[in-house]
Each structure stands twice: as C-alpha cells, then as structure tokens.
A and B are shown apart, each in its own frame.
Chain A
Amino acid sequence: MSAYLEITGLNAVLRGTRTRVLRDVSLSVSKGQVHGLVGESGAGKSMIGKAILGVLPRAIEVASGRISLGGQDLGVLPLRERLRVIGSQTAVIPQDPLTALNPSRRIGPQMTDRLTRTLGWQKTRANHRALDLLEEVAIRDPERVLHSYPHELSGGMRQRVLIAAAFAAEPKLIVADEPTTALDVTVQKQILKMIADMQTRHGTTMLFVTHDLGVVARVCQSVSILHSGMVMEEADIRTMLTAPAHPYTAALLAATPRYTDPEASLVPVSDTVLAGVAEAIRASDTLWGRA
C-alpha cells in the first residue's frame, strides 16, 4: 500500500523566532486509511492539519520539512498551484459546526463554491451533487436545507452539512479536526459512525485529530501520539492499544476512563513519564538549536 500523505521532518516556529511549536514531525498515511493524531490540548495536533492545508495562523510559520500529497511535494509548488491542489484534493471537517459556517450565506453556495469556483463545475451539477450528499448524511429535506441560512439549522444538522460538504469534491485527503468535540454526547456517536461509514464508502484517506483514545480505537487504523508538537510514537492501532512502545502512550491509555471502574481508571500521567517526555523534547531542541 502506497502512502498518500507523507510528512517528513516538519518544523513549525513562532514567526520570526526559533521557538518551535511542531518538532521534527514525521508521519505517513496510506491511501484509504484513517490516521489518528492524539495528544493533550496544546500538543500541536490541529497544527499539523493546518500546516498541510496551508492555513496556519499568521503567527506561526513552517521552518523546514516536507509535506507531500500523492507524491507531490507541496512546498515546491507556487502559491496558485498549491491552492489548486489543496482545493481539489483535500477537505476539512471542522471542530465547531456553530462557527464553521458563514452566518450570512446560504448553505447551498457554501457547500458548492469549492466545486464551482475551484473545480469549475456547472452550477446545476454542483447543486445535484450537494443534494445527493445531503441525502447521504441523512438530512430529510435537502432541498430546503440548501436554501437555509446556518442559524436555521441545529448544531447536529450543521455538522452533517459540513461532513457532506467535505466529501463534495471527492477529496483524496480529509482532515477531521475533532469533529465531535463540540457536539452533544447523544449525537457524537452517530456523527462519528457517519464519518467512518462515508470514509469507507468513498475510500478517502483521513487524518483524524482527537484527544479521545476511545474514538481513535473505533475509527483509526494507525495513530501518532503527540506531546509538545513532537511525535512520541507512531504505530498501527493494534500495537498502540496492546503493546505501546512509549511510556507516555501507556500512561495515556491508563488514563482513559472506563465504565467498569471509573475511579481507578482516572490515573494522571506520572511525573516520571512526563520527565521522560521533557528529556526527549530537550534532546530534540538541542539538535535543532545546533542546526
């Protein structure tokens, strides 16, 4: 199986400084696979997705490293060309459905503008596509939804719209940025299953950003564990769950709440493990400082 997404030695820094927010990140995701990016908040997991799509905040810039999609190195492309590749081959399922839709535009154009503007589709064809996808995410009255404004839809509906929109251009890669975090627990499971089903059906490669190891176990085939913008461990899901190589991974697994014994399962990550993590980061920073 060939790797679709490949990141090698990616370093991102606060603009104009040598302070790193992503530390020598390397990972590869095979075509059609779901790769989890797991870490505590601030571990840099969303940052990796943003770096791939070229939407890093202004204060952060990529200092070195290579990101390639289907063998195409994004870094060497001129801006226009890179935007075209990003626009036609990738998509995002965002974290918060309440803020990810433009409040003053109707759903229809927001779903289809990528198709008509970036890919040059006819308007009617794009609309048909949007209707089909809304049906696929089990929205009952898709015609009406296309003509609605975001504030006329519930949070769950909006997230389904965003999922449908993400698949609209049949992207090769979808970055799912904590797609269920902002939702009610009651709809979380349903949305998660919907994303997983659509990923399987469309055969899309997916980068799944989450802090929830339970979610990872359910949808991902492989996973990278992050701390302070550094990959602690990259492994396939079975290995990670049964025989974690890194003590930090083991500590995270031990800290995952379980229904059977909730009290005992809430173990904080021990100081020894954190000291080990800090040591690894220090070692990497020393190397970086010399470079």
Chain B
Amino acid sequence: MLKRLLLRLISIAITLLGVSIVVFVAVRLVPGNPVAMMLGPGATAEDAAALEALLGLDKSILVQYWIWLTNVVQGDFGTSISLRQDVLTLVLGRLPATLELAFLALVFAALLGGMLAVTGTIRRGGWTENGIDLWNGLTLSTPDFLWGLFLILVFGVWLQIAGISGRISPQLDLPFTTQFYLIESVLRLRFDLTANLIGHMWMPALALALPLSAMIGQLLKQSLKETMHLDYVTLARAKGFTENQVIWREAMRNALAPTLTLTAVQFTHLIGGTVIVERLFSYGGLGNLAIDAVINRDLPLIQGIVLVFAVIFVLINLAVDLLYAVLNPRLRHG
C-alpha cells in the first residue's frame, strides 16, 4: 500500500514537471510578446531591450525555465507582469470562486444525470426512455458556452428574472474572511448571502453541468440496465422489493464504477470549460483571470494558472482511484 502510494506520488511529480515544460515553451512560442504589450507602439528599441532585461526575457529559454522552476519549487511563482502582484496570491485568491462554481456544476450534473438514468431505467423500453435519450443527445451535442448564451438569453433578456453577471451582488456588505464565499456563507448561517450567491451561480453552473449530465445520464442508464438483468437483482425482486428499491440498493453501487471514471475525466473538462463560461457571466474566477493573462501575454501568470489547473486535475484523478476501492470491495486487498 505504502509502495503504491509512493509510486503514485512520483508519477504525479513527473506529470507536473511535464506540464510545466509544455506550458513554459508554449507561451513563448505563440506570437505576441509581453514587452510590446506593456510599452505600446511608441517605444524605442533601447526601452524594449531594457524591459526585456528587467523581466529576464533576454536570457535563453533553458536558463529562464531553470530560474522559474527553482523558484516555483520554493513556492515563488513570480510576479504578474500586467497586474504587478504576486502570482500565487492572485491565483489562490481566484481559485476558490472557480472551485465553488465547478463543484456546484458537478452537483447539478450528478443530480440531473442520476435522475435521468434512474427514471430511464425504471421506464426502460418505452417512450419515456426515448424522450430521455433525445434530451441527452441534445444537451450533449450543445457545448457549455452555447448553453450559457442560451440561459442568458432566456432568463436574463427575455424573462428578466435572473441576474446574469458577477458572483454576488456588489452592494452587499460581505463578512467573509476567506474566498470560499458559498461555503463560508453556509457556515456563518448567512443564508441570505447563500441565496444571493446561488442566484448568481446557478446559470453558469447549469451551463457547465448540462453536457456532463447527459454523459452521466446515458452511461449510468446503460450500466443500470445491464445490471438489472443479473441474477442477484432478480433475486432481490423476488424478495418483494419495488423496482426503485432494487435500483438503489442492489444495482446502483455495481453500476457506478464506469460512470465514476467518466465523470472524473469529464470533470476536468468541465473545469476547463469554466474559462469561457466565467467570461460569459463575468464571474470573478480563475478562468476569467486566465483570459486576461493570455490577452496581456502575462507569462508568469499564465504559467501559474496552468500549473494550478494541472495540480487540480491530478488530485481529482487520485481521488477517483481512492473512491474505487471504497465502491468495490474486491480492489481493497489488492
């Protein structure tokens, strides 16, 4: 067990190192450079050279990478070129907003997908299942940002019943000491603020959740339907259990594994999707910051954000592996 954990940690370190190399090279290969962005068109060649030297961009890419990596290992991600602030502080300040949005979207996707899967399994082979298949096809083939635009159009423009931008109403007096507004508002029992936050978050979260809910719904339904033919399910039916009880008690746990893998993989996609969706809803998260960083060619900030995303992805995969062992007793003593 200890050996497996150790191997796992080593592989995580290698993954992150790889990501750091790719992002470091990639941001330097794309056209446009930060010096030109900062100085504007009227700058002289000497000014540009001076700024390049100041930022360390005159050194070779290998030397640059080595300096950056040794600093990162010590927890210093550098200073944002455009915002003149510490990258780590910036990123950690925005990360909670994105995490809360992503997890709310995950909850939406799991609830919606689970509901569709169970309903489709109970009513399998009928019009209800056909309807669910159709709906899932529709939600799956429409990308999250289009759902975002659609929701803005319907609820923000036509019906005008929901606010369409920001994370929380700006005129509110905020008692928060952390950036985890949603969690803190619940812990402080300020449910008025929770409601306000959810009121802002539900649309971007739903936009992110819909495609994932279709994947969860279809795959889980398929697994459940296969499980419903197995002998132990028939046996449970003969114990006088209703279809609903049979699904939840006997079938769900065994049918869940493939859906769990898919959800984990797709959850990382969903976090990737936050970049554009946060922009659509002017939601003050990491994704919005990332777009600004790219526009300004803010190399240290881009690198910091990508590395943080990479760490999140790695942790999600680790969590899923651990969850497998909980779900499947046969894996526990491997």
Q: Answer whether residue B328 sits at the interface, using C-beta atoms and an 8 A cutoff.
A: yes
A140 at the interface (CB under 8 A from B): no
Q: Which residues of A contact B (CB under 8 A)?
A: 50, 53-55, 57-58, 79-80, 83-88, 90-92, 94-96, 99-105, 113-114, 117-118, 149, 151, 175
Closest to B252 in A: A104
Expressed in whole angstroms, the minimum distance between the Cβ of A259 and any Cβ of chain B is 33
A99 to B232, CA, bound (A): 6
Q: Which residue of B lies closest to A89 (CB)?
A: B240
The yes or no answer to B238 lying at the interface (CB within 8 A) is: yes
Q: How far is the CB of A258 from chain B (nearest CB, A)?
A: 33
Q: Which of B246-264 contact A (CB under 8 A)?
A: 249-250, 253-254
B258 to chain A, nearest CB (A): 14
Could you list 28 examples of A-B contacts with CB < 8 Å? A53-B238, A54-B238, A55-B237, A79-B242, A83-B240, A83-B241, A83-B242, A84-B240, A86-B238, A87-B238, A90-B238, A94-B231, A94-B235, A99-B232, A100-B231, A100-B235, A102-B232, A102-B236, A103-B328, A103-B329, A104-B328, A104-B329, A113-B236, A113-B249, A117-B239, A151-B329, A151-B330, A175-B238
Name A102's contact: one of B229, B238, B254 (CB within 8 Å).
B254
- When distances are taken between beta carbons in the complex, the residues of chain A under 8 Å from B235 are 92, 94, 100
* CB neighbours of B250 from chain A (8 A): 102, 105
Q: Which residue of A lies closest to B227 (CB)?
A: A102
Contacts of A53 in B (CB 8 A): 237-238
A109's closest neighbor in chain B, by CB? B249
Complex Cα gap A175–B237 (Å)? 14
B124 contact set on A, CB distance < 8 A: 58
* Shortest distance between the CB of A209 and any CB in chain B (Å): 14
Does B234 make an interface contact (CB < 8 A)? yes
Given A102-B254, A151-B329, A88 and B240 contact (CB-CB distance below 8 Å): yes
Cα distance A58–B229 in the bound complex, in angstroms: 10
Complex CA gap A58/B126 in Å reads 11
In the docked arrangement, what's the CA distance between A177 and B93, Å?
64
Give complex CA distance A253, B236 in Å: 36
CA distance A103 to B231 in the complex (A): 11
CA distance A2 to B250 in the complex (A): 37
Write out the residue numbers on chain A whose beta carbons fall within 8 Å of the beta carbon of B170: none
